[in-house]
Amino acid sequence: MRGNSLPNQLCKRTFACVINIVTQQIFLLLVLITISFAQNPVTKIRDKTKQINLTVGSAIDNEGTRKALKAMNKIPEVAATIRRYNRRFGNDSVQAKMFVDREPDEKAQDSLMKNYYEVVVVSDSANQTSRWFAFFVRKDYQEILFYDLKQSKTGGIDDWKKIWPASEFATAPKRKY
């Protein structure tokens, strides 16, 4: 009968409780470790999408494209719009960007495709890329045209300023939320 005495029963119950608590803690630890390892591939994929422009796969980077972007930077409203947007809304996964989407193609029949770099301004995030503007920089970098996506026609920079008041956005005071 000694095995069934009150101290022995309490000892068995206490030991069972301790084992139960330790088992639960080990289980929680294993779950947390599994979750942290499972998140690592997601983080790697998310970081990789930040490095790649989803529209073109990767940036076109050569002397000609750098000169085309330099010509675009001479339009203060474009650069100011990108800078202002990124200051207000940009973070590590959402930002406005400008890049060369297409280089001149000597074999093309269309004069825009044959003689111009296509430079686009987009808001780029891990979820989507939204094209804001499309510009054409002539391959001698002396002329820049704006492509109106709604009207499907090209025009000059002054036409772009009339259609979308970039200078107003670029100079507007920062709103407090």
Query: For the chain, which residues make up each domain, given as ranges?
Result: 2-49, 63-171
Q: What is the pLDDT of residues 134-171, one digit of tens each?
A: 899 999 999 999 988 778 888 888 888 777 655 455 45
Q: What is the pLDDT of residues 96-139, one digit of tens each?
A: 888 898 899 888 888 888 999 999 888 877 777 788 888 999 99
Residue 72's CB is within 10 A of a number of other CB atoms, namely 22
Q: Tell the burial category of 151 from Cβ atoms under 10 Å away from its Cβ (0-12, 13-18, 19+).
A: exposed
pLDDT score at 55 = 47
pLDDT score at 43 = 58
**CB of 122 closer than 8 Å to CB of 131:** yes
pLDDT: is 142 or 173 the higher one? 142
CA 137 to chain centre: 24
pLDDT score at 60 = 81
> What is the pLDDT averaged over residues 71-94?
83
Which pTM was predicted? 0.60
Q: What is the pLDDT of residues 21-44, one digit of tens each?
A: 777 778 777 766 666 555 555 555
Per-position b or e across 2-41, b if 16+ CB within 10 A of its CB? eeeeeeeeeeeeeeeeeeeeeeeeeeeeeeeeeeeeeeee
d(CA 40, CA 46): 10
d(CA 99, CA 131): 11
Q: In sequence order, which residues have a C-beta less than 8 Å from that of residue 70 and are 6 or more positions away? A: 141
DSSP run (H or E) holding 73: none
